[in-house]
Structure 1
């Protein structure tokens, strides 16, 4: 027993060092000292000397650096070099394209929360706020989504003129080139507000400010091209599009069949060096009206007119619409959200080399250019449009659920409706925090490749959930399309966002963990870089440092996972206040679990992990939800920890931490090497899965928040277009909710009179008049209730149409027959 106690003491000392990530030297000293002290205290003298001998045999070779490198690291370096799959050129470009922000801390197993909380609070500047309050508000008065989607299948001319004149297309263009020069947060705020007016409008404005000619010119264009094109793009004098997607390659630029062959042609009597382009593109937003077409293609030089290389690689060019042979096809019709979208084609289209974006120096660098610029589309445009739609759902659904009554109660009081309302409120809070976090990362100068993929995937997926819940709560009100329906088009728009900028299936299964595991891991990239070094001594030194850092990292995460699992994450220093501290501790636990399970998956499966997409996707889910949870906590801190928001914060954090445990469980249950899976479960879930979905009681609190005017609802409704107007049903809903809540005491007094039998009329209007005559209501009160009930009736009403109004194509001969029939009936 004394010897066993001595061994246990040594293990505890080792575990403590691993938990706190002590250095190798500190661990060795702590281990030896603990063994000596424990052996002396417990009287295990013989056992102590045996254990000390074993410990010295382990620690001394590790502490003798030259011996360790020559006898341990060198053989492992050879094995690692053989086992590690080589990255393709496209994979390497993707890895090099982004930067690592706080997501790297989440992959560390021990996040430094001070780094997150020390980031500046993202705020709009005065110009951006003035733009939201001025031109954006004014634009809202011009917009009728029903006119856009049903009558015109396009933005009306006054709207086109307004967005061009007010430089909505120039938000990312610096002021020096005539643009607005907005921050990423300002850009996001505008898109969120536009998306509450019309999905078509938001998509139209988003595209020129996302991946396209302006973004590419800013990063890679010559000063001459910038000075020429950017001012014209800013004011809509040029309308841009970017042609990447093709019928067989989708958004995989590395597989596009479109070609540009270097050749010479005689142009106006002058022999000109240029490209013969053959391409077939589709799903190109703004193509039908574009005057400037960005084009991605693979460039070849078979005659070696430029050099020795024949396959130059993916290249980008900028073509005027007037280019001979360039064909803009007819329009696509994306799910009744009629933003301008269509195909672009060309066969043997000759253009001079001056059309290359970035000139000859950037020929063959198109994939890198695209990957570096795609993060803006993923980090800003799509998450912002999704967030705006979700904020609009909070406003409209919350108001409708409170105003619409059945069985004598607002439907918001029914538990089934509360469940949907809680999801709408909680997921909107989480998505708004996520969208703001990625915009803030861009504004800090980061290139958030992994967070942008997380934001794109989860914002659009949760927008689908919220849109579905909104449809369910509204019922027939949302099914019947027409000017009064503010939910139906949002439901139709959801699959578009999920599909573009890389389909969500691809984003989740291939990108998030595929990039995150290497970019965010503190040692994997260092090990891979060490293997690539040419100097043998430098290679061995770098590999040894990374290897033993990685080993210590893995042991630490195993110990931290087990310890935090056994204590249910109730120990350890943490950030936050009394309300949020437990959530930080839970994230500490899940961070260690992610790092451990990712290391095990990469170590055991190696290159096969690339083909285990579902395991990779679940590990990506863990990273995603950790990032979202950190965004929620940052948002809570940035708003000065408002007590009113705590139900929303608690619901969203409980929801995402539950999803983390489900994803980890999915990895373990499906891990192909079962003994490894059993070990992982013992380390990660020593007491089983503990996290549950938010309680019904908490859900009821969230539902109440979004159905009641107040500061929490107002924060959720930030950047929603709320000015009441003929075509702004969300604004009407918000104003009606406030008036309905203000009239509740009056409604109770009226309902009491009806219930008591004091009023004998059956017609609602007659009852109010009877109440006025009986003195139950004053003249003013009766008038107020009458007007309010009429507004409620107008709000819950749905549209109906003459059949001819719904015809997609107006046939003159049919209209003539209908007119004749109408005249005969009238006669």
Structure 2
């Protein structure tokens, strides 16, 4: 018996060990820290090929606490009523002073700060809900709120600060005495935050009249939100200790410090112009600025640990803030576009009845349901105290891209109503703002091509990371022994996945399990099949390409798309169950899941057609999809059903768009559209009477409405009260479809400003 393991080692494990060490890329320090900082959650189930759907369905349902609900019902509603986005963006180019004061006083900047320091300590779900709802009203205000509650001094201090730092700074941040920003991005380091060139040198210097150990800092940062108004600056930089004053080797690596904005040498206050939006964003610089060592976040013990700190905090912020903005766009466009498509008429028809418009409305409704589902599932992971870097990368990339798509659809449907900026326009500023969300916290191209599968293949695979660690073990004998056990498990894992994938291919997944019955049951089976196919393809890709896989970004992106759409589909199924299997929502569910399966199939098709190793892609296709990929895009029938639902009042519409702020003021633009929508719905039976009379030849089918109504009254087709009701509805309709006009003097007053005052010579 003892000879079997030795023979296995000799002929299988040891040769595989040598091959593994040769082909697999070494993990850099930053990559290792990024992976160790995060955790594997539902993404691990999807990547392994056999997702346990009961695990997904037993994750907690997202709920607000009584304190959180009270804040939404009171402070948040008050804030929303104070916001006028046209005034903020086009007139003031800033939030009004009373809004700044209200946000500070009511702790909008301290949603994540612990209660013992005066903060609100809200859940990730509440944080996301607050940002989403504000974003339906004003992106500028939403960004202002979200930044202090994601990556920034508040979160870094909470997790890593010394007791003295927490006791001094957190109460000041909680009550609004201080406004924070965090400076990470610079001209030479955007998505590649690990390459920041900003430098600190450990040295002795003078502080408050005494010579103390500290750091001489030089930095040049840009795109820093809240920097122009910040009173305290969080700063990431690389630290060196050439004289060995800390007793460590130089360089020490990325370090984070907290610096008062009025400290000598800190340059702050200038503004960028992020596509015309009016949240505070600007550069900060400093040259040979001396700070004491105890300004390092976490103190001297955390010198050089900044990258780990940033990765942990970035993954959380990436899963809350930017997905919240994407979701807000869905709620906003679904509600307003559905209303507009019913209110607006062309050729005597509601424009939503045209199939070309209905096709776009199908995307808006289906994607909106999926966006909300992904938002709630992602925040659930964070509230479970997970740090799922891959999940949050999926959420950030796909939710901002979905938002861009439905914004384009909404712009197309609103047409001229959407391209004239003014107080009546409720989506124009969002159209400008979405590229900002797509760009920040890792540009979307990088997120898709390098992060989701690039890190997921190693982090989410049940054995690869452990095998890499065994291969990297300096004790080669011990490493080979560890590798032997892992390899046997890996072979068993891969063999089972291949066998099940082939079985699924020929049975069309009929024998896969489903935790539910009904119309959604088959989706679980098909998603399990896609998960198996991904596990097999990932293993083959890593085996055949090794370290080259890192450079094959297009292949990595396509396999990442499979993982991403498996996650988005999971979120849809989870939401449908959490909300009590609402039958009225099934068109949205079908659209979302058909879309996800279709995207998985397209991604596999592209990966197999373009696989870098000759014959491998064809073999994978034959093995995994021998009778073809029969996953069609959402049907026209479902798109038309969604279009009708968006144009019909009811509980389904409220569920789909519950985060959209409507407003109660006479001038609130969405409220104007809603009043017209309700009024037009109210006269639907009367319009049918007119249509029947026109069909009988009693009335003209088209023409001036007042004349048709007068004739209808004469012929007793309508009563006097019914005629009046139609006139009132038509007046509201007419108001809702109008666009804004300006006196020429407005343009003269508002175009004098920025160009002459810009400081182009100082731009980095």
Shorter-chain TM band: over 0.9
Q: Among residues 358, 367, 377, which one is paired with 1:437 in the alignment?
A: 377
CA offsets per residue over residues 49-75 of structure 1, 9 Å max, x none?
xxxxxxxxxxx99x9334423543233
Closer, same or farther in 2 for the Cα pair 1:756/1:801, shift >3 Å?
farther
- Structure 1 residue 778 corresponds to structure 2 residue 716: no
Give matches, 1:632-643, under 5 Å.
632-643=572-583
Which whole-Å CA distance do the structure 2 matches of 1:178 and 1:184 have between them?
18
Q: Which residue number in structure 2 is paired with residue 795 of structure 1?
A: 736
Contact preservation (8 Å) 1:302, 1:310: yes
For residue 747 of structure 1, report the CA deviation from its aligned partner. 2.3
Closer, same or farther in 2 for the Cα pair 1:308/1:103, shift >3 Å?
closer
Q: Which residue number in structure 2 is paired with residue 546 of structure 1?
A: 486
Which whole-Å CA distance do the structure 2 matches of 1:347 and 1:808 have between them?
38
Q: Which residue number in structure 1 is paired with residue 39 of structure 2?
A: 99
Q: Among residues 361, 367, 372, which one is paired with 1:421 in the alignment?
A: 361
CA offsets per residue over residues 15-54 of structure 1, 9 Å max, x none?
xxxxxxxxxxxxxxxxxxxxxxxxxxxxxxxxxxxxxxxx
- Structure 1 residue 603 corresponds to structure 2 residue 534: no
- Structure 1 residue 450 corresponds to structure 2 residue 384: no
CA offsets per residue over residues 203-257 of structure 1, 9 Å max, x none?
1111010100001111100122112211221232211111011111113222111
3-state SS of paired residue (1:576): coil
Which whole-Å CA distance do the structure 1 matches of 2:657 and 2:541 have between them?
42
- Structure 1 residue 684 corresponds to structure 2 residue 621: no
More displaced stretch, 700-709 vs 791-800: 700-709
Which whole-Å CA distance do the structure 2 matches of 1:330 and 1:727 have between them?
34
Give matches, 1:732-771, under 5 Å.
732-753=672-693, 763-768=704-709, 771=712
Q: Which residue number in structure 1 is paired with residue 610 of structure 2?
A: 670
3-state SS of paired residue (2:745): helix
Q: Which residue number in structure 1 is paired with residue 566 of structure 2?
A: 626
Q: Which residue number in structure 1 is paired with residue 236 of structure 2?
A: 296
For residue 183 of structure 1, report the CA deviation from its aligned partner. 0.7
Contact preservation (8 Å) 2:207, 2:292: no
Closer, same or farther in 2 for the Cα pair 1:369/1:220, shift >3 Å?
same
Give matches, 1:721-740, under 5 Å.
721-740=661-680
3-state SS of paired residue (2:68): helix
Q: Which residue number in structure 2 is paired with residue 39 of structure 1?
A: none
CA offsets per residue over residues 605-651 of structure 1, 9 Å max, x none?
00011100000111111110111111111111111111111111011
How many residues are treated as equivalent by the alignment?
A: 752
Unaligned runs of 5+ in 1: 1-59, 813-827
More displaced stretch, 665-674 vs 553-562: 553-562
Q: Among residues 161, 171, 175, which one is paired with 1:235 in the alignment?
A: 175
Closer, same or farther in 2 for the Cα pair 1:278/1:157, shift >3 Å?
same
CA offsets per residue over residues 772-811 of structure 1, 9 Å max, x none?
5664433432332222111110000011111221236466
Which whole-Å CA distance do the structure 2 matches of 1:440 and 1:78 have between them?
42
Give matches, 1:492-571, under 5 Å.
492-533=432-473, 538-571=478-511
Contact preservation (8 Å) 1:244, 1:251: no
Q: Which residue number in structure 2 is paired with residue 194 of structure 1?
A: 134
Q: Among residues 74, 97, 120, which one is paired with 2:60 in the alignment?
A: 120
CA offsets per residue over residues 384-428 of structure 1, 9 Å max, x none?
111011110000000000111111110000000000000001111
Contact preservation (8 Å) 1:253, 1:296: no
Q: Among residues 389, 401, 426, which one is paired with 1:486 in the alignment?
A: 426
More displaced stretch, 721-730 vs 514-523: 721-730
Which whole-Å CA distance do the structure 2 matches of 1:313 and 1:725 have between them?
54
More displaced stretch, 282-291 vs 799-808: 799-808
3-state SS of paired residue (1:266): strand
Q: Among residues 169, 173, 183, which one is paired with 2:123 in the alignment?
A: 183
Contact preservation (8 Å) 2:128, 2:321: yes
For residue 264 of structure 1, report the CA deviation from its aligned partner. 1.3
Structural RMSD (CA): 1.9
Which whole-Å CA distance do the structure 2 matches of 1:570 and 1:699 have between them?
27
Dislocated runs of 4+, deviation >6 Å: none
Contact preservation (8 Å) 1:724, 1:735: no
Which whole-Å CA distance do the structure 2 matches of 1:811 and 1:225 have between them?
44
Unaligned runs of 5+ in 2: 754-764
Contact preservation (8 Å) 1:253, 1:314: no
Structure with greater contact order relative to length (CA < 8 Å, sep ≥ 6): 2
For residue 89 of structure 1, report the CA deviation from its aligned partner. 0.4
3-state SS of paired residue (1:447): coil
Q: Among residues 157, 160, 175, which one is paired with 2:100 in the alignment?
A: 160
- Structure 1 residue 651 corresponds to structure 2 residue 571: no
Give matches, 1:80-95, under 5 Å.
80-95=20-35
3-state SS of paired residue (1:170): coil
Q: Among residues 251, 257, 262, which one is paired with 1:322 in the alignment?
A: 262
Give matches, 1:136-155, under 5 Å.
136-155=76-95
3-state SS of paired residue (1:369): helix
Contact preservation (8 Å) 1:173, 1:181: yes
For residue 691 of structure 1, report the CA deviation from its aligned partner. 0.7
For residue 738 of structure 1, report the CA deviation from its aligned partner. 2.7
TM-score, normalised by the number of residues in structure 2: 0.95
Closer, same or farther in 2 for the Cα pair 1:277/1:722, shift >3 Å?
same
CA offsets per residue over residues 525-552 of structure 1, 9 Å max, x none?
1212223445666533421121011112
Which whole-Å CA distance do the structure 2 matches of 1:811 and 1:292 have between them?
32
CA offsets per residue over residues 164-223 of structure 1, 9 Å max, x none?
111111111122211111111111111111011111111111101010000111110012
Contact preservation (8 Å) 1:304, 1:310: yes
Contact preservation (8 Å) 2:677, 2:733: no
For residue 727 of structure 1, report the CA deviation from its aligned partner. 4.4
3-state SS of paired residue (1:299): strand
TM-score, normalised by the number of residues in structure 1: 0.88
